[in-house]
Structure 1
Amino acid sequence: MSNKKKKKNNMKKKKDVPIEAFKDMSAEYGDKAWNILEHAIRRIYNHNARNILSFKELYRNARNFHGFGEKLYSGLVATITSQLKEMATSVADTQKSSFLKELNRKWNDHRKALRMIRDIIMHADRTYNSMTKTPVYELGLNLWRENVIYSNQIRTRFLNMLLGLICKDYAEEVVNKKLIRKITNMLMDLGPSVYVQEFENPFLQLPAEFYRAESQKFIECCDCGDYLKKAEMRLNEVIDRVSHFWDPSTQKKITIVVEKEMIENHMIRLILMENSGLVNMIGDDKYEDLSRMYNLFRRVTGGLSQIREVITSYIRDYSKQLVTDPERLKNPVEFVQRLLDEKDKFSRIINLAFSNDKLFQKDLYSSFEFIINLNPRSPEYISLFLNDKLQNGLKGISEDVVEITLNKVMFLFRYLQEKDVFEKYYKKHLAKRLLSGKTVSDDAERSLIAKLKTECGYEFTAKLEGMLTDMKTSLHPMKSFYASHPELGDADGATLTVQVLTTGSWPTQSSVTCNIPTEMVVLCEKFLLYYLSNHTDRKLSWQTNMGTADLKATFENGQKHELNVSTYQMCVLMLFNNADRLSYKEIEQATEIPASDLKMCLQSLALVKGKDVLRKEPMNNYVSEIDAFFVNDKFSSKLYKVKIGSVVAETEPEPEKLKTQERVEEERRPQIQASIVRIMKSRKKLEHNNLVAEVTKQLQSRFLANPTEVKKQIESLIERVFLERDNSDRKLYRYLA
């Protein structure tokens, strides 16, 4: 029973008090009801609302204004306006130091009053006002704006005092930040347009003037790095100041102002600043300053393009100096290494300072494409660089480091326009490495060939892979040969190792001849008979210019050495087993080595310090046809095994280079013709310029086709009736099936 009673009592407490229904009011009743409401509104504004009628009574009076909405609305406007004018006078009479505080206090009073008034006349606000008039609370904000903020007594003074406080803050004086924030919130409550017109527009002139003067002061006394630090600090301060003072919508606008005055107006001067600008930062590896410049300049229009332009110009100027300096071009390996070092340097800058920006990467690739093709000998130099690394430069280095090195070189190779020229040189250098046994490892060789295949396709590397295959398959015939000739296994006698090379895969020279020593001729003939007896459909020709030999030599006082020499050097040295002194002419006649090769061979044997197993007369720095040679009995070395390399030009001599270029041009012609036929077969008819463009694009993975050469091959195909010209348009070609 007690629980039920308790529940019943609670229900009674929550029961709503009934409010009288609408009733028609006379004019006299309307005046009386309004007087009650007006009196209550004034008491609310005067902070004396305790003794007014109850909320319920006031609500009923306002609700009963049915049919008198205009009277209620106009009376409300007049009463609030009257109160606000009194407030405006009170604020205007306030002393300077308390002016903004008083304005903020009156604003809070007004908002509080508006909320109470809105609750009292809620019904009329929802029925009458919502259809034809401004809602009460919004009306109160509008009246505050017109009668207080826009008052002649307040408007100018208010703006000057607010801006004055902000100026003090810029001067690092102590100001009431909370008060400023409250005032700016008031302006936003009155509407974004009020905030913009009364505060934001005049305010934005202050930082523009302040930062313009400050940036000028900084740039006169600071280097580029210090200036950028100060600019960064100022931008951070702006963001902090926005959070304390202004509406967030102002942040972007004031940030643009600061960026313009501190960065945009001084971009060119900062980039080109003497002894500390962008070029100096790059040269001194100042990644922190470069990162700061990137992050600041990206804020303004055209900022990053200015940096990109200078960096691109810097790289290209450097490359021109490198390519036009004869001293730097003397060493191909050093030339390529400089390019790789420069590429690594800018890759680090882009990664560490420029957030790995794709546009900067694109500029880097474009710049190095320009560099690598600026030097016409780049294909040869890159091949020489790889030859140096794969021959001895990567020994004792982990596989990961080898891969990194090869990938770096592939970056340069990727932008070569004449990849087929590189192929010519690389095949020649690879052959020497393989046949002399000087390659760092088969894995490294195969790894590079795999990268070349990925870049250029199977046809590009087919012969290179064939060379590696020949080296591997040559092991089996040699084992079988010695198994069938056990008498040749004597350790003190001459031995022979043969690599059987496939014609077409290797850069062989069939016209080269050389008289092999008698001791070796016997072995060569035996191997020839053995091999041809097992491969009756094959033909072998000796490539003596591509071989090596190990000779055991005894000098004065019984000093013994094992000399690692080329086949040509072996032929020369073994002549001195039967002669103490030989002239150049006698050596040439006995060996029949081509003159150019013989001179380099003798130079390496007689004129290289520490490897001079021969002496010559007269003693000078070159080999001529009047020289005479004899064994250097006093030759000595700390090593038992002495490697005597062949003296060869680091780069290909100019006549040989021209021959190589001619061979390349000859090999390009059928490729151009094949490309033209493929394109025309699929397109049936095509205009001249479009055909040239498509041929160039199709062949660019191997070389950059010369439009003149493409035109010649088109004419050749027309003569051979593969193509014909259109009768009405001579620039239009048709394919003849």
Structure 2
Amino acid sequence: MELYRKSNRIYEELFKKNPKQAYGDAVVQRLDHMLQDHDIQIEMNKQFKGYYERDGLIPKFSLEVMVLSKPFFPAIDIQNLNLPTNLQLALQTFKDFYKEIQPCQTIEFAPQLGSVTVEVQFMSRRCNITMHPSQALILLQFADGAMKSLRELEEIIELRMEEVEINTVSLMQNLPILVKAAEGTEQIGAQPEYGIGYDEQLKLNKYLRPDKIDFRVGKPIKDIIGEHSAQFARKELIDQFIVILMRTQRTMKYQDILNLAVNNITQFRPSKYDVKQRIEDLISRQFLKRKVEDRKTIEFIP
């Protein structure tokens, strides 16, 4: 927690040392508020857990809040989704909790943001699959062997047909979690054809054999937040983690930095390639440097 609180000051110092490398006032201000939101998010989730324990409530699932300040994300439209009853109850519980700690403020839920981990039972194994909330809502409709068409999904979830189609197709790509229900389409590793009729029945590909128990599926083709903005935010989070880490440790092995970043950044799952790019970029901007006598060791430039 203390590291995150210090992060704003660290960035200010770095920008002062390398003014030519600064991103501009608007971006710095936005980043500053993102870091503040993250501090609030951590503290709020701790308090919410205490609220559950105090009132003797038994959570049906793990609910963690992602905080966004609306003035800095004005382009995000709140999308209404027909959420499952248990999730609606969980959100209402959080709303009651928030009213207790912040009686003068209001909150809005943006159910189309964030991520959801769904437990799926295939024939070979049970998997925990992390995905976009809209994807999760669609996948949940295929529980217990249910079959659904795009038109039925549209009515149940109350999404536009375009959104239903985009999210459903994303669950049929690469790793086909959903397949057409017509005879012969459910095969191990079968790659689906994406020409789906609105009334064509789909089902869970129960014979799928994922390599991992815990994994993520690709996001829908069309996302709420633009790809450019998302990529920028991810780069900033990786940079933030590395700079705070190196400011504390001063000297570390390249591989240790890589492993710590991959394993400890929780807002998304960075690849080793992503982290390597950010390390090299921080070196080029003179935040870090390689040790002269050992090129595999990275040093922080104070």
| Shorter-chain TM-score tier | 0.5 to 0.7
* Number of matched pairs: 206
Name structure 2 gaps, 5 residues minimum. Answer: 1-6, 183-191, 229-302
Which one of the candidate residues 185, 199, 206 is aligned to 1:633? 206
How far residue 572 of structure 1 moved from its aligned partner, in angstroms, is 1.1
Question: For residues 16-415 of structure 1, what are the structure 2 equivalents within 5 Å?
Answer: none
Instruction: Report the TM-score when normalising by structure 2.
Output: 0.59
Of 447, 454, 458, the residue aligned with 2:25 is 458
The letter for the 2-side match of 1:592 is E
**Whole-Å Cα distance in 2 between the matches of residues 649 and 533 of structure 1?**
37
Q: Measure how far apart 1:524 and its partner are.
A: 0.6
Counterpart of 1:505 in structure 2: which amino acid? F
1:616 and 2:189 aligned: no
1:565 CA displacement: 1.1
Indicate the SS of the match to 1:504: helix
Report the counterpart of residue 469 of structure 1 in structure 2. 36
**Which entry has the higher C-alpha Rg, 1 or 2?**
1
The change in CA–CA distance for 1:479 and 1:599 in structure 2 (over 3 A counts) is same
Q: Deviations over 1:284-341 (max 9, x none)?
A: xxxxxxxxxxxxxxxxxxxxxxxxxxxxxxxxxxxxxxxxxxxxxxxxxxxxxxxxxx
In structure 1, what is the equivalent of residue 45 of structure 2?
A: 478
Measure the CA separation in 1 of the matches of 2:43 and 2:197: 43
1:353-384, Cα deviation, whole Å (9 max, x unpaired)? xxxxxxxxxxxxxxxxxxxxxxxxxxxxxxxx
1:406-449 per-residue CA deviation (whole Å, 9 max, x = no partner) reads xxxxxxxxxxxxxxxxxxxxxxxxxxxxxxxxxxxx89xx69x9
Distance of 2:144 and 2:85 partners within structure 1: 12
**Counterpart among 155, 159, 171 of residue 593 in structure 1:** 159
Contact 2:147 2:181 in 1 (8 A): no
> In structure 2, do the counterparts of structure 1 residues 489 and 478 end up closer, same or farther at CA, with 3 Å as the change threshold?
farther
- When residues 461 and 623 of structure 1 are mapped into structure 2, their CA distance, relative to the original with a 3 A threshold, is farther
Unaligned segments of structure 1, at least 5 residues: 1-441, 658-737
Cα distance in structure 2, aligned partners of 1:497 and 1:520: 12
The partner residue of 1:515 within 82, 85, 89 is 82
Q: Which has the higher helix share?
A: 1
C-alpha deviation, 1:598, in angstroms: 2.3
- Structure 1 residues 625 and 455: CA distance shift in structure 2, 3 A: same
1:591 to 1:649, Cα distance in 2 relative to 1, 3 A? closer
SS in 1 for 2:34: helix
Partner residue in 2 for 1:575: 141
Higher RCO (C-alpha under 8 Å, 6+ residues apart): 2
Deviation at 1:616, TM superposition (A): 2.2
Paired residue type of 1:521: Q
Whole-Å separation in 2 of the counterparts to 1:530 and 1:636: 41
Q: Deviations over 1:218-269 (max 9, x none)?
A: xxxxxxxxxxxxxxxxxxxxxxxxxxxxxxxxxxxxxxxxxxxxxxxxxxxx
Structure 2 CA distance, aligned partners of 1:510 and 1:534? 26
Specify which of 112, 122, 137 is matched with residue 545 of structure 1: 112
Change (3 A) 1:515 1:588: same
- Pick one of 642, 652, 661 that aligns with 2:215: 642
**Counterpart Cα distance in 2 of 1:464 and 1:577:** 40
Q: How far does residue 639 in structure 1 lie from its aligned partner after superposition? A: 0.8
Q: For residue 107 of structure 1, what is the aligned residue in structure 2? A: none
Residue type of the partner of 1:478? N
The alignment's TM-score, normalised by the length of structure 1, stands at 0.26
1:633–1:541 CA distance, 2 compared to 1 (3 A): same
1:497 and 2:64 equivalent? yes
Q: Give secondary structure in 2 for the equivalent of 1:485.
A: helix
One-letter amino acid of the counterpart of residue 561, structure 1: C
Please report how far the alpha carbon of residue 505 of structure 1 lies from its aligned counterpart in structure 2 after TM superposition. 1.2
Contact 1:510/1:541 (8 A) holds in 2: no
Structure 1 pair 488/547, CA: closer, same or farther in 2 (3 Å)? farther
The residue number in structure 1 matching 2:270 is none
Aligned-pair distance for 1:475?
0.9
Shift in alpha-carbon separation, 1:630–1:507, aligned structure 2, 3 A: farther
CA distance in 2, matches of 1:465, 1:520: 31
**Residues 561 and 579 of structure 1, relative CA distance in 2, 3 Å threshold:** closer
Q: For residue 434 of structure 1, what is the aligned residue in structure 2?
A: none
Instruction: Tell me how far 1:541 sits from its aligned partner.
Output: 1.4
Contact 1:581 1:628 (C-alpha < 8 Å) held by counterparts: yes
The 8 Å contact of residues 130 and 215 in structure 2, kept in 1 or not, is answered as yes
Relative to structure 1, the CA distance from residue 452 to residue 581 in structure 2 (aligned partners, 3 Å threshold; closer, same or farther) is: farther
CA distance in 2, matches of 1:615, 1:554: 15
In 2, the alpha carbon distance for the partners of 1:616 and 1:452 equals 56
Report the CA distance between 1:579 and its aligned residue: 5.8
Q: Indicate how the Cα distance of structure 1 residues 574 and 649 shifts in structure 2: closer, same or farther if over 3 A, else same.
A: closer
Contact 1:517–1:574 (Cα < 8 Å) also in 2: no
Query: Structure 2 vs 1, CA of residues 452 and 627 (structure 1 numbering), >3 Å: closer, same or farther?
Result: farther
The alpha-carbon deviation at position 463 of structure 1 amounts to 2.0
SS at match of 2:112: helix
Question: Structure 2: which amino acid aligns with 1:600?
Answer: I
1:529 and 2:96 equivalent?
A: yes
1:661-683 deviations in whole A, cap 9, x for unaligned? Answer: xxxxxxxxxxxxxxxxxxxxxxx
| Residue 534 to residue 602, structure 1, CA distance change in 2 (3 Å) | same
Q: CA deviation at 1:596?
A: 3.1
Letter in 1 for 2:72: S
8 Å CA contact 2:128, 2:215 repeated in 1: yes
Cα distance change on mapping 1:560 and 1:578 into 2, 3 Å: closer
How many angstroms apart in 2 are the aligned matches of 1:452 and 1:536? 41
Amino acid at match of 1:584: L
Between structures 1 and 2, the one with greater strand share = 2
Aligned to 2:273: none
1:578 deviates by 5.6
Distance change in 2, residues 1:507/1:564 (3 Å): farther
CA shift, 1:484, in A, is 1.5
| 2:170 aligned partner, one-letter code | S
